[in-house]
Structure 1
Amino acid sequence: MSSATAPHRVSAAPSLLVTLENAPEAAAVARDAAGDFLNSLGPPPGRDASDAVVLIVSELVTNAVRHTRTRTCTLSLAAGPGTLTVAVADASHRPPRERDPDVRGEGGGFGWPMVRRLAVSTSVEITSQGKTVTAVVAREGERSA
């Protein structure tokens, strides 16, 4: 099903890499992994930053499952001194697209604008292997340890 690696250090910044099968439960597994990662940070980020990261993780993984025809996607999380970075990679070459939200709830269209509002920056990198969608969240409002 889904597998996760333990948090490891890259350039002295805590990080996590999780490979997920593109299945309906992938977003829930990703949210749990993100929550555990955020709680492991010292000091943990503030509630607003944590909530933003979990929402972005949920949306990007859901999009990878819903809109691609790939077997897996990969969630990467990294914590820097002032930022939290979320990246989701999949084998599709189609970038997220802005579309009019469907207020009837049948066609979506709310997620990508939400991700862009919550993040201080977003990017999409297309490679020969697929794409990686990255969102960077400000780590302001950190709680004391």
Structure 2
Amino acid sequence: MTTKPGSSALRVGSDADQALEPTLDMRFTSTPRGARLARRLAAVRLDACGIPYGSDAHDAIVLIVAELAANAVRHGCVPGRDFRLRVHAPASKTIVRVEVTDTRAECLPRRPSPSRDADAEEENGRGLILVSHLASEWGWRPRLSGPGKTVWADYVIA
């Protein structure tokens, strides 16, 4: 669960951007601290866009952000390169898209096998299993500008 910070809502981008589409689009350092900051900023931004703290949708989307950002740091990290987080929550609020872009093209995400869940004793290996259960769809594509990839997930708000 994510707790609501005591400060007012975070605004990313210009006021003109806020009126058009509620989107968080930022770069973060490829460190655990960067992944944590990405998760926290996404949580604040979702609340500001009308997907309130404590709702099932908010918690699921923040978990998707956390897992994809952690994977970018752990598997997509190139020293000295950042990862990019984009959370797009259109005004209709029916589908929220989370995209995480890193600069490592040779380490591609694999779909979890439906017959194999992570062993209870393993400390890692559950991130994409969680994403595949929470998201209506997810996948990856090559990065448009330069080396790397973008991993994306769509969450449908009921």
Using the TM superposition, give the Cα deviation of residue 28 of structure 1 relative to its aligned residue in structure 2, in angstroms.
Answer: 1.4
**SS of structure 1 residue aligned to 2:153:** strand
Of 22, 40, 44 in structure 1, the residue corresponding to residue 51 of structure 2 is: 44
Aligned partner of 2:104 in structure 1 is 92
Aligned partner of 1:73 in structure 2 is 83
**Which deviates the most, 82-91 or 127-136?**
127-136
Using the TM superposition, give the Cα deviation of residue 65 of structure 1 relative to its aligned residue in structure 2, in angstroms.
Answer: 0.6
Cα distance in 1 for residues equivalent to 2:72 and 2:23: 21
Using the TM superposition, give the Cα deviation of residue 23 of structure 1 relative to its aligned residue in structure 2, in angstroms.
Answer: 1.1
Aligned partner of 1:24 in structure 2 is 32
Identity, in percent, stands at 33
Cα distance in 2 for residues equivalent to 1:83 and 1:7: 21
Note the residue ranges of structure 2 that are not aligned, 5 or more in a row. 1-9
1:83 and 2:95 equivalent? Answer: yes
Aligned partner of 1:103 in structure 2 is 120
Runs of at least 4 residues off by over 4 Å? none
TM-score normalised by L of structure 2: 0.75
Aligned partner of 2:12 in structure 1 is 6
TM-score normalised by L of structure 1: 0.82
Change (3 A) 1:5 1:92: farther
Code of the residue aligned with 1:105 in structure 2: it is E
Note the residue ranges of structure 1 that are not aligned, 5 or more in a row. 141-145
1:139 and 2:157 equivalent? Answer: yes
Code of the residue aligned with 1:138 in structure 2: it is V
Q: Whose strand proportion is higher, 1 or 2?
A: 1
Cα distance in 1 for residues equivalent to 2:96 and 2:108: 22
Instruction: Kindly tell me the number of residue pairs found equivalent between the two proteins.
Output: 135
Q: Is the 8 A contact 1:7 1:14 kept in 2?
A: no
Higher relative contact order (CA 8 A, sep 6+): 1
